Amino acid sequence: MMPFTHGDVVQLKSGGPLMTVTGIVGVDQHLADLKAIGFSDGDVSVEYFDNNKLERATFRSTSLEKYEE
């Protein structure tokens, strides 16, 4: 079972902005190329805002945790 699903709100374990999971390596075909640069099944692509600018990034699942209000 993957630790994250599309739409989950996550944050780096070390802090930082809240991010929304938009893709999962091993699930979304458009992320297959990420395995060639070291990402693994379950790692996630996210979107978040930084000073009103939309940013996109990919993180290892082990560096993220689900955000709990």
pLDDT above 90: residue 2: no
| pLDDT given for residue 1 in this prediction | 61
Map residue 61 onto helix, strand or coil: helix
CB 60 within 8 A of CB 35: no
Per this entry, what is the length of the chain? 69
Instruction: Report how far residue 19's alpha carbon sits from residue 47's, in angstroms, rounded to the nearest whole number.
Output: 6
Rg of the chain in Å (alpha carbons)? 12
Q: What is the pLDDT of residues 9-66, one digit of tens each?
A: 999 999 999 999 999 999 999 999 999 999 999 999 999 999 999 999 999 999 999 9
- What is the DSSP-derived secondary structure letter of residue 14? T
Q: Residue ranges of the domains in the chain?
A: 9-66
Distance CA 55, CA 48 (A): 5
